[in-house]
Chains A and B, each alone.
Chain A
Amino acid sequence: MSTQRIVFVGVGGQGNLLASNLLGQAALAAGQHVVVSEIHGMAQRGGVVESAVILGDATSPIVSNGEADVLVSFEPVEALRLLNKVNKDSLVITNTRPLPPFTVAIGAASYPAPEESVAFLKKKLDKVIAFDGQSLAEEAKNPLSLNMVMLGALFGAVDLPIDVKTMKKIIRTQTKKRFAAANVLAFDLGYKAAA
C-alpha cells in the first residue's frame, strides 16, 4: 500500500492534537499501519500547533516540506503558513473562520482577508476545499467541535483506508461523553461540506 501523509495545523486550543490522535486510533482499529506525531510545549500558549498522521508503509513520524498529501488547516492563515508542506498534487482543506493572533490586535502585523488567502490557495493548487467549519461546529451545538468538523471533511474528501463507521465509533468512545453526540454530528456536517 502506498503512503498517505496528512498534516494538521491549528492554533492552540482548537484541538488538532485530539483530531490526529483519534485518526490514529481509528487507523489502528482498521488494521492500518500508522504513525502520529505531535509538537507539545511552547506551541500551546496560543501559538501554532502542528501534528501529522502518516498512514501506510512509512515509519518516519514527520512529514517533510513538499510531502504532505493532505493539509488540514483549522484556520485560514495557518494554511498559508504551512503551505511549504504541500506540493502541486496535494489537497488543502481549510476552515475559513479567522482567528487573528494578538500581533494583529497590537498593530504589529496585518491579517489577510480569508477570501484572499483562499484565492491564493486556489491559484496554486487544483484541490482546495475551503468552508466555514466553525459555523458547522456551532450548528452541532459544540463550538469546540471544529476539530471533528475538519476530521469529517477529511473523510468526505479523501479516500482513506479507514471506514467512516470505525472513525465515528472512535469519536463516540474516546471523546467526553457529554459531547459525544455533538461531536459525531459535527463530523457528519464536515463530511457533507467536503464530500
Chain B
Amino acid sequence: MDVLLTPSGGKEHLLLGNEAIVRGALEAGMAFATCYPGTPSSEVPDTLYRLRKQFPNKVKYYFEYSTNEKVALECAAGAAASGVRTLCTMKHVGVNVAADPLMTLAYVGVNAGMVILTADDPSLFSSQNEQDNRYYARLSGLPMLEPCGPAEAKEMTSYCFELSEELGSPVMIRTTTRVNHAREAVPFVKLGKVKQTSKFKKNPMQYVTVPAVSRNLHLRLLNIYNQAQAISEQSPYNQIVGKGKLGIITSGVAANYVMDAVGDLGAKSKIKVFKLGFTYPLPEKKIARFLKSVDKVLIVEELEPILEEAVKALAQEKGISVEIVGKVAGKVPAKSVDIEAPGFFSRAFEYNPRLVREVIAKTFGLKFTEPAEISLAGMPTPPGRPPNLCPGCPHRATYFAVKEVAGDEAIYPTDIGCYTLGVLPPIKAADFLICMGSSVSSSGGISRATGQKVVSFIGDSTFFHSGITGLVNAVHNNHNFTLVVLDNGTTAMTGHQPHPGVNTEAIGDATTHIPLEPLIKGLGVQHVVTIKPFKVRAAKKAIEEAIAFEGVSVVISQELCPLFARRVAPTTKRVFQVVEDKCKGHLDCIKKVACPAMFVENGQARINPLQCIGCALCAQICPENAILPVKAKG
C-alpha cells in the first residue's frame, strides 16, 4: 500500500510538496479532481492518477486529465456546484488559460469545497514566463493561501476545503517550485470521509450569469471578501514570531529564508517576523498593529511587490509613518546568469537564503561574516550541458526531414513540449513561441504578413490543449502554411501523462481514444498526411508535398516516444554501430542531428551501445552506409 493512503493519522512521512497536497486533499475527503499537467504542479495529478490506477478499490475520488486548464476548471466548477469536494490543479500559466471561467466562477461560487492550485515558477526552471499569480486572487476576488513548505501545504489544502465551504467560494492555493519540489516530514491526520455523488439543485439566479444575475453576484463576491478578511485576521496561518523593534513581513517559501537568516544573524530578540500564509484578503488590522509596534519594516516576498504595495497603502490609510522597504523600485539585476546574487530584492527570479540574509543585514545594520569564497579564476571551463532530445526521439527524425526539405529559410513557429528543444543547434527549427497553441495561430499571422514559407510544429498534447481552435481559424480564413503535429502518443515533457490522442487500450485506461487524422480532416483541412518519421525517404516526400500544397496542410508525424513505449509496449530493436572501415569521418550523422548516443573518436563517429535504441535515423543519414545494426549474438 502507498503511505498516502494510510487511513490513520499520527505518523510523519517524508513527502514531496505535491504529494503533501494530495494527502491534504484526501484528508479533506476530496471526491473529484481535474487538471492539466505542468511543472511544478504535475506530481499532484500524477499521484492522484497513479493511486486510482493501483488501488481502484481503496480510492474513492473521480480523477481526470482534462484537455486544458479552462476545461479542467469548468469541469471542476460543475462538480463543485453539484456539491462534491473538488480539486483543480495547474501551473501558473495554466491559470491564464482558465482565467475566463475563473473570473465568473468567483461570482457563482460553489456548493461544496473547491480548491484551485496554482503552481508558480519563480526563476523559470521550466516555464515560458515567471508571472506572479498572487495577482489572480486580486483580479478574481478569490481567497488565497500560500504554504511555505510541504507540511504546511498539506495542512492548508485540507483547510482550504473547509474555508471554501464556509464562504461558498472556491479558494486558491498558490505554491512555488521550491514548495512543490521540496521534501520534508509531514504529519498525517486520518483520511476524510468522501461524499462521492450528490444532486445538482437548479438555481438559475445563482448559476446562470446573465447581467441581472451577475450584478447581484458581484455584490455577493464583495461580501465574501469581507467575510474572508475577518477570517484572515484570526487565521493561525498569519502568525507573528519573535520580538523586537525591527519588523519583517513575509510569505511563502521566503518566510523560511527569513527565519533561517534571523537565526544566523543572532537577531531573534531584535527582529519580529510577520509570516503570512492566508495572504488574500490580508489581515489588515493585524498588519496595522504590527506596523505600529516596530521602527522599520522590511517586506520579503518573491516576484511582484504585492505585499509591499498593500502594506504601504495600508500605512498611508491608517496614518502610520513607519519606514517600509522591500524591492528597490526600478532596479533590475544586471544579468540573468546572476540569478542568485543581485545583492538587492528585485522583481525577477526567486530569492535564496543568502540573498535574504544579506538584505536583512544591510537593511537593519546587522553584521555577519560570510563564508570564505573561493576564486574560480583559471578553472577549466565545463562544456555546456543543455537538455537534449533523448536517443531515438522521433522529434529528432521529424525535424531532420523537415529541415532537409524546407532548409533554414522557412519560418518555424513552434510550441511547448520536448520538441521545443528543437531550438538548439544543430536542429534550429524554432522561430516563434509565446504559449501553448501559438504555433498554429501565429503561423497564419506570419504567413499572411510576409508571404514567407511557414512550417510550424505542435505536439499532440498541445494540439488537443489549444491547437484545434487555431487550426479551424486557419482553414476558415484561408491561411497558407504547413502544420506538423508531432504525435508521440503522450504528453512527454511533463511526465508522460495521457491525453485524448493516447492509445487508451495500451495503457489500460477506460477513457476514449480520439485519433488525430479523422479529427483534423473533420476540421476541414484539405491536405492531411500521416508519416512515420524514421522512414526518412518517404517522410521527406510527404513533407515536400504538404509544403507545396497551397493552403493549410497538416503532417501528422506518428511514432511513440520511446520512453513511453518502453512502459506500454516494450520492444527491443537492434542497436547500431559504425563500421570503422566504412566511416570516412564526414560526421554528417552527428552534425545534423546531435543524437546523445553518438560521439567522435579518432575522427570517426561512434555509437554508445548503452544509449542507442536502434531508431536507425543516423544509418539513413550516413552517405557511406557505414552505420549498420549490430549482429544479434548467437
Using a CB–CB distance below 8 Å, which chain A residues touch chain B? 11-12, 21, 24-25, 28, 33-48, 57-67, 77-78, 80-81, 83-84, 86-89, 100-112, 116-117, 120, 124-125
Contact = CB atoms under 8 A, between A and B. Distances in A.
A45 B373 contact: no
B12 interface: yes
B378 to A, nearest CB: 7
A38 B16 CA distance: 9
A31 to B, nearest CB: 10
B598 A105 contact: yes
A87 B371 contact: yes
Given A35-B184, A103-B384, A106-B594, A66 B373 contact: yes
Contact of B384 (A60, A101, A116): A101
A62 B353 contact: yes
Given A40-B40, A105-B590, 10 more contacts: A41-B40, A43-B125, A60-B352, A67-B353, A67-B354, A88-B372, A89-B371, A102-B596, A105-B596, A106-B425
28 contacts: A24-B183, A35-B183, A38-B182, A40-B42, A40-B43, A41-B40, A43-B126, A46-B596, A57-B263, A59-B259, A60-B253, A62-B178, A65-B354, A66-B371, A66-B373, A67-B354, A67-B371, A80-B380, A87-B372, A87-B373, A87-B374, A88-B371, A101-B385, A102-B594, A102-B599, A103-B383, A105-B596, A117-B380
A151 B43 CA distance: 25
Contacts of B182: 35-38, 61
A41 B354 contact: no
A66 B353 CA distance: 11
A45 B421 contact: yes
A46 B387 contact: yes
A45 B388 contact: yes
Contact of B14 (A34, A66, A67, A106): A34
Interface of A is mostly: mixed
A40 B354 contact: no
Contact of B382 (A47, A102, A105, A112): A112
Interface string B238-282: 000000000000000100110110010000000000000000000
Contacts of A34: 14, 183-185
Given A35-B183, A104-B599, A120 B386 contact: no
Contacts of B43: 40
A64 B384 contact: no
A86 B178 contact: no
Contact of A64 (B16, B353, B376, B389): B353
A21 B598 contact: no
Contact of B183 (A37, A83, A100, A101): A37
Given A37-B183, A39-B125, A45-B390, A64 B381 contact: no
Nearest to B601: A105
A106 B591 contact: yes
A134 B280 CA distance: 51
Contact of B380 (A67, A84, A116): A116
| 6 shortest interchain CB distances as A-B pairs | A41-B126, A64-B354, A109-B383, A112-B380, A47-B387, A45-B387
Contact of A60 (B13, B185, B257, B421): B257
Contact of B383 (A63, A101, A116): A101
Nearest to A117: B380
Nearest to A37: B182
A45 to B, nearest CB: 4
Given A40-B181, A44-B387, A46-B596, A28 B12 contact: yes
A61 B178 contact: yes
A59 B256 contact: yes
A83 B380 CA distance: 12
Contacts of B126: 40-43
Interface in B53-81: none
B340 interface: yes
Contacts of A101: 383-386, 388, 596
B342 to A, nearest CB: 12
Contact of A106 (B372, B376, B590): B590
B390 A46 contact: yes
Contacts of B374: 83, 86-88, 124-125
Interface in B287-344: 340-341
A169 to B, nearest CB: 14
A144 to B, nearest CB: 10
Contacts of A109: 381, 383-384
A91 B590 CA distance: 38
A100 B259 CA distance: 41
Nearest to B184: A35
Which residue, of B148, B374, B382, has the highest number of chain A Cβ atoms within 10 A?
A: B382
Contacts of B14: 21, 24-25, 28, 34, 36
Nearest to A21: B183
B372 A89 contact: yes
B379 interface: yes
A37 B373 CA distance: 23
A118 B43 CA distance: 37
A63 B36 CA distance: 31
Nearest to A68: B371
B149 interface: yes
A41 B41 CA distance: 11
A47 B390 contact: no
Contacts of B340: 64-65
